[in-house]
Structure 1
Amino acid sequence: MEVESPPTTTSLIQAGEYLIVQKIDGEQSRIVRFTPKQKILIEKLKFTSDSAFGKPHGLFEVSNNQCFPMSVDRLIEELQLQEAPVATTLADSEVVLSEIVESSDLRVVIAPSALKLEPEQKRQKLEMDAVLEMKKQGVSGQEVVAKLVEGSASFQTRTVFSQSKYIKRKAKKHSDRYIFLLNLATQISYRVLILRPTIRLLAKAYYLKDPDRLAMLRADQLALILQMAGVHHGKNVLVFEQTLGLITSAVMERLGGKGACVHFHRGAVAQSIPCVHSMNYNESTLSTFLPVRIKCLLTGKQLPYENNRKACNEEEENDDKTKEGKCEENVEDQDLEALARRNDRLDRERRGLEMTFEGNAHALIIGSRTVDPINVLELVYPTLAPSASIVIYSPHQNTLISCYDWLSKRQAINLVLTDQMCRVMQVLPDRTHPLMAQHVAGGHVLSGIKVVDQ
């Protein structure tokens, strides 16, 4: 038997990393950067981040603004109690009925058929207040059911099946196990999942929160984009997207530290890519991220920054929005850090431009929301290597039809316009059907292959 090894330092929650917080039975997920002395709020449930540091990722219980990891033994015990049988058959109901008859002075007469009562006739003589008072006095659930049967005006007129059903329902409601399950349901509402971010969880969280910002991109369509582009370890991929960095982050994860993800962006620095920051990538994976300014792509060469201070300020503002906080001003340190960041950006941009114009790109991925993809194709398509994959995503079908015509005129082959449907199925005992309340909006994917006319 293998002994499970204790969690390593990297598998524990640490300050400064991004995590996904989801309330059990909740609808939304939050991407939060855990910092010391931070208050985490998720659907009216609040706890401090310090109580989670040093704990493994997983299920936590929230109490008094603190979160505590849930033990496996406790979860197994609760699962066993939930699965315990409770008078589910007619024979079980008859046993309960006989026990009630033996433990009380009530004479139960099994009626051959059911009779209708007058609407004004009161069916239950025992008031709810009396039932609550009995429970406060410690009366067992069996005695409470006996009193309810005795106070029911229609019990003797019921059929044997109806009587068994009545007793089974009341026994389930007033049994100690039922009360335990109610308390358990209340406890579950104070539990949260604190998970390490993944591409699927990020796609789901942003899609449920604001699908418009994500261009209606679902996780299944993102998987289709990566498949049609043939993204794998060591590949060079050109990316222009408006999906909060989700496509770029997915490509970087697929590359696995080898290859290049050339990210074309507007402005001095790459902005609005929270999905890249939220994945907590290591240095090896981040080395494949090569941001390139659109302005440099238009001119065909690397341009110096017109205003270094302005560029640094833009990056600092972007970092502030991502980290949700500002550091104290230190002019000398800021200048050194800004200079180091600028040099790193210039080096990455130089490598990205060389790869683009030398024709070493193996794939082009465009995730458009407001920009016409044809404008990007006119700039990048001539620089693609022969047999390079082309994948374009857009929430608007007409946009992709125009791209289809544009690529057809340039002898691109295997052009396929895909509209994917994804529905969540609800699996229940003896029945399976689509979940009634779910998001079904999505976009369209156009894929093809570039060929060179000899």
Structure 2
Amino acid sequence: MPEEKDEIYDGCTVVVQRGTYMKTCRVLQGRTYAFGKRGDGQFTLNIDGALGCPFGSSFRMERMSNKLFSIHKTEELNTCLDIVKEGGEDNRDLQDDGRSQKLTPEEIIQLKGSGLTGKEVIQTITENSTTFKDKTVFSKEKYVNKKQKKYGEIITIHRPSIRLLSNMYYTLDPLKIANLRVDTLSQLLCHVNVQPGGSFAVFESGTQGLVTAAMLHRMGTIGHLVQVYHGNHPQRDAVDLMNFTTKELETLSFINFTKLPDITPQEEFATNGTDEVKELTAEQADKELIAEDTHCETKEMKADTTEIIEKPSSDTKSMKKEFTRPQKFVRKQEEDIRMSSTVLQGNVEGLVVACRQYPNNILRDLLHYLKPGHPFVVFSPYKEPLMELFMEVKSQNGTNVHLSETWLRHYQVLPQRTHPDINMSGGGGYLLYGTRIIKD
């Protein structure tokens, strides 16, 4: 793996966390970014103070104007738990009728805009609660921690990782990644045996490029990963957020589903083709590319693009300037197709299909490029198509086929109150995995 920078630098992508809320942004000096939900909960943040600080550092937000904040590095992480001094014996007499808080929502919003610190706002809210003094110490701490996630002034800036991105996507909207939960993603990588030095193929649609990013991260700079896609351009949102180096991106190539190379019966049963066969196929793919109209795709896959700031404040619009993103595509489209065709014709060592649409035809077409005796994995948010695919693959060209769903539940681990979390996710999708064989 190439050496990663340990400090936050201009142009890098980071994950900004405030309580349980997380959002990605590219650090650009002089830019401001909008965080939170639209309305009274939204605020604008300038993160120039993070430049040069190590990833994982915590910062205190300081108000510059009504909703504009700057950040300054801090080592003191006040948890506001010193508000809790003593408590009642139990909560049996407390009633959650919604009338225990004397302050109205409008008055709380005025407190936030009056210049009070987050701790002072929480202190005022607890003082105006008629039931807070009667709660047990555990209940008080839980109440304060909940308010701190909403009104706290401490943020943490992380280096993007597959786990952070997966949790962020799943928390914001699981449907955007087809309910692909982090435990399902980890099992997918294990079943297909992703490792450096191998050659793998992935078809991904509807999961924001999370599977491709996870496979590329495991492979490092050695091996080949071919992403097959439908439409004008591949899904690679998560790939762009991972700060991959050019050396790492050279491992990844793209090919449209309509330009997959043909495989003759002799090539399908061979594990390695000769160099002459590979070169001939590459020339044929190149001729087909020139003959077809690829204006839309070429336009989409240009390397240099400009980034617009997410939410500039009115006083910084005049400072807005163009920023050239790091190179996204390290090869021209023709070179990508040539390289992908060569890898696929040499047969890959692992195949992954992750999509929200019907996966049966996709797997049937791509399974020819998988070496016999090597694994394949299909992810779907629905079990019905995988049940049908299970019988088809098992009867034709698959063995050791399994259809699985994982059950995940988080646990709270605290002194005298370790127990499963009350709320848990409804599901993380389904996996169909097995090994390809060739029947006589």
Structure 1 residue 69: Cα displacement: 1.2
Identify if the C-alpha distance between structure 1 residues 436 and 367 changes in structure 2 by more than 3 Å, giving closer, same or farther: same
What code does the residue aligned with 2:349 have?
H
SS at match of 1:47: strand
Q: SS in structure 2 opposite 1:202?
A: helix
Does residue 209 in structure 1 map to residue 207 in structure 2? no
CA gap 1:185/1:383 in 2 versus in 1, 3 angstroms: closer
Q: Distance in 1 between matches of 2:363 and 2:83?
A: 62
> Structure 1 residues 275, 319: CA separation in 2 closer, same or farther (over 3 Å shift)?
farther
Q: Which moved more, 1:386-395 or 1:36-45?
A: 36-45
Q: Distance in 2 between matches of 1:240 and 1:426?
A: 37
Q: Deviations over 1:284-324 (max 9, x none)?
A: 21111111111111767523254454334323599567987
Of 235, 249, 252, the residue aligned with 1:289 is: 252
SS in 1 for 2:372: coil
In structure 2, the partner of 1:304 is: 289
- Contact 1:12/1:56 (8 A) holds in 2: yes
**Cα distance in 2 for residues equivalent to 1:278 and 1:407:** 35
1:377-427 Cα offsets, whole Å, 9 max, x none, are 221112211111010010110110111112112141111111101111122
Give the AA of the match of 2:28.
T
1:261 aligns with 2:259: no
Instruction: Output one character per residue of 1:110-154: Cα deviation in whole Å (capped at 9) or x when no partner.
Output: xxxxxxxxxxxxxxxxxxxxxxxxxxxxxxxxxxxxxxxxxxxxx
Q: Contact between 1:389 and 1:448, CA under 8 Å: does it hold in 2?
A: yes
Q: For the structure 1 residues 434 and 245, does the alpha-carbon distance in structure 2 shift closer, same or farther, using more than 3 Å as the test?
A: same
Do 1:61 and 1:68's aligned partners in 2 also have CA atoms closer than 8 Å? yes
> Does the 8 Å CA contact 1:386/1:451 hold for their aligned counterparts?
yes
Contact in 2 for aligned 1:252/1:261 (Cα 8 Å): yes
Asked if 1:34 corresponds to 2:27, the answer is: yes
For the pair 1:70 / 2:63, whether they are aligned, the reply is no
| Structure with more contact order per residue of length (Cα contacts < 8 Å, sep ≥ 6) | 2
Aligned ranges for residues 21-420 of structure 1 at < 5 Å? 21-24=16-19, 26=20, 28-43=21-36, 44-57=42-55, 58-64=57-63, 65-71=69-75, 74-75=76-77, 189-242=152-205, 243-270=207-234, 272-297=235-260, 302=285, 303-304=288-289, 306-307=292-293, 309-315=295-301, 344-359=332-347, 361-370=348-357, 372-420=358-406
From the superposition, tell whether residues 84 and 47 of structure 1 become closer, same or farther in structure 2 (CA, over 3 Å): closer
3-state DSSP of counterpart to 2:194: coil
Which one is further off, 245-254 or 311-320? Answer: 311-320
Alpha-carbon distance, 1:45 to partner:
3.9
**What's the TM-score once normalised by structure 2's chain length?**
0.69
Give, in whole Å, the separation in 1 of the partners of 2:190 and 2:149. 43
Matched with 1:12 is 7
Q: What SS class does the counterpart of residue 388 from structure 2 fall into? A: helix
Three-state SS of the structure 1 residue aligned to 2:289 is coil
Distance 1:251 1:342, change over 3 A: closer
Structure 1 residue ranges (4+ consecutive) displaced by more than 6 angstroms after TM superposition: 87-90, 321-328
Q: Is the contact made by 1:23 and 1:42 (CA closer than 8 Å) also made in structure 2? A: no
Which of these two proteins has the greater Rg computed from alpha carbons? Answer: 1
CA contact (8 A) 1:213 1:244 kept: yes
Aligned CA RMSD, in angstroms, stands at 3.8
For structure 1, the residue ranges without an aligned partner over 5 or more in a row are: 1-7, 91-167, 173-177
Cα distance in 1 between the residues matched to 2:237 and 2:333:
18
Cα distance in 2 for partners of 1:193, 1:391 equals: 36
Task: Deviation per CA, 1:57-116: give whole Å up to 9, x if none.
Answer: 221111022111122xx34xx58x9689967999xxxxxxxxxxxxxxxxxxxxxxxxxx
Matched AA of 1:355: V
Alignment gaps of 5+ in structure 2: 37-41, 64-68, 90-132, 264-283, 312-319
Conserved? CA contact 1:61–1:191, under 8 Å:
yes
Partner SS state of residue 21, structure 1: strand
The one-letter code of the counterpart of 1:21 is V
In percent, how many aligned pairs have the same letter?
24
Q: Distance between the aligned counterparts of 1:377 and 1:363, measured in 2?
A: 12
2: CA distance between counterparts of 1:85 and 1:209? Answer: 31
Q: 2:431 aligns with which of 445, 448, 451?
A: 445
Deviation at residue 186 of structure 1 after TM alignment:
9.4
Cα distance in 2, alignment partners of residues 240 and 434 from structure 1: 36
Report the 3-state secondary structure (helix = DSSP H, G, I; strand = E; otherwise coil) of the residue aligned with 1:194: strand
Shift of 1:49: 2.7
> Aligned equivalents of 1:250 and 1:354: distance in 2?
23
Q: 1:67 is matched by which residue type in structure 2?
A: I
- Distance in 2 (CA, whole Å) between partners of 1:201 and 1:320 is 26
